[in-house]
Amino acid sequence: MLSFSSLSVLATLALSAFTYAAPTVGPASDVSSFAKHVPAVSAVEVPKVPRATKNVVDIINETHTQVYQYTYEFQFITADNATLEVLTPLVDEITTVLGSALVSINGLVGEAESVVLGLEGGVLLTVTEVVSVVVGLLTLVLDAVSAVLAVTLSSNLACVSALLAGLLEVLGCLVCAIVMLVQPFLGSLISLVLAALGDVVGVLTTLKVTVLISILGITA
Beta bridge partner(s), residue 124: 118
Q: CB 81: neighbour CB atoms within 10 A? A: 12
Cβ within 8 Å of residue 30, ≥6 positions away = none
Closest CA to 186 of 107, 132, 120, 121: 132
Chain Cα centroid distance, residue 137? 7
Q: Under the phi-then-psi rule, with left for phi > 0, alpha for psi from -120 to 50, and beta for the rest, what region is 43?
A: beta
Side chain identity at residue 213, one-letter code: I
What is residue 52's predicted lDDT score, i.e. its pLDDT? Answer: 53
- Cα separation, 130 vs 178, in Å, equals 9
CA 117 – CA 198 distance, rounded (Å): 26
What is residue 219's predicted lDDT score, i.e. its pLDDT?
A: 77
Element (H, E) at 193: helix 190-197
Partners of residue 118 on adjacent β-strands: 124
Q: How many residues would you count in the chain?
A: 220
Query: How far apart are alpha carbons 211 and 128 in whole angstroms?
Result: 23
Q: Give the per-residue pLDDT at 220.
A: 60
Say what the pLDDT of residue 49 is.
41
Task: Give the chain's domain count.
Answer: 1
pTM: 0.80
pLDDT given at position 99: 96
Q: Are 94 and 141 in contact (CB under 8 A)?
A: yes
Using CB atoms within 10 Å of the CB of residue 120, give its burial: 0 to 12 exposed, 13 to 18 middle, 19+ buried.
exposed
Q: What is the pLDDT along the chain (220 residues), one digit of tens a residue?
A: 444 445 545 544 444 444 443 333 333 333 333 333 334 434 444 444 445 589 999 999 999 999 999 999 999 999 999 999 999 999 999 999 999 999 999 999 999 999 999 998 889 999 999 999 999 999 999 999 999 999 999 999 999 999 999 999 999 999 999 999 999 999 989 999 999 999 999 999 999 999 999 999 887 6
Domain that holds residue 142: 4-216
pLDDT of residue 4: 45
Whole-number pLDDT of residue 7: 53
Q: How far is CA 149 from CA 40, 77, 170, 184, in A?
A: 24, 10, 18, 37
Do the Cβ atoms of 125 and 117 come closer than 8 Å?
A: yes
